[in-house]
Amino acid sequence: MKYLVVGLGNVGNEYEGTRHNIGFRNVDAFAIKQNAQWEDKRYGAVAHTRVKNAEIILLKPSTYMNLSGTAVRYWAQKEKIAIENILVIVDDLSLPVGKVRLRGNGSAGGHNGLKNIESCMMTQNYARIKFGIGNDFPKGAQVDFVLGKFTDEEDKVIGEKVEYVGEMIKSFCLQGLDRTMNLYNKK
């Protein structure tokens, strides 16, 4: 079985370590744990790994956040991966820092990366791990907040949850969406 696990973020040094790039951080950590090597390919950096019988293709789109769907659609078609075997990891302002939730579908909730995936894939029915980045910013400062870095205190929480997300990825690929939601959304 083949899976596409996509971490959303923006390429470039100026975006490294920002809240908006939490998707990249999660797939980077998973790749390290799996000894998977990144290669620059069309529309993004790609790494291949396996967990038992699951072949996993990790993707960090190079299209910038707002055009993430182009990369997701390309790699899903190229690798012949069904929509139910796609998992997207995305930052979420509506969740407290470090809170993670797995969903099997839903609206983009104002997130431009998810909006573009929805548009390119022509469905809202794909799995996503929403990774909480908090929303402690004054009115009108959302862009600066999401493109800002985590505090040292927040970063400790994030580090622990990145490990947790790695376990969620494995579970999604080996046990499926429903079982993984039941196991991990309760914690």
Tens digit of pLDDT for each residue in 72-116? 999 999 999 999 999 999 999 999 999 999 999 988 888 989 999
pLDDT at 138: 76
Phi, psi of 141 (to 5 degrees): -110, 20
Full residue range of the structural domain in which residue 80 is found:
2-184
Confidence check: pLDDT of 187 > 70: no
Angle separating helix axes 152-175 and 177-184, nearest 10 degrees: 140
End-to-end, the C-alpha distance of the chain in Å comes to: 27
pLDDT at 108: 87
Confidence check: pLDDT of 139 > 90: no
pLDDT digits (tens, 9 = 90+) for 17-59: 999 999 999 999 999 999 999 999 999 999 999 999 999 999 9
Which residues lie closer than 8 Å to 37 by C-beta, 6 or more apart?
A: 31, 47
Q: Give how many domains the chain has, as a whole number.
A: 1
CATH code at position 79: 3.40.50.1470
Catalytic residue numbers? 20
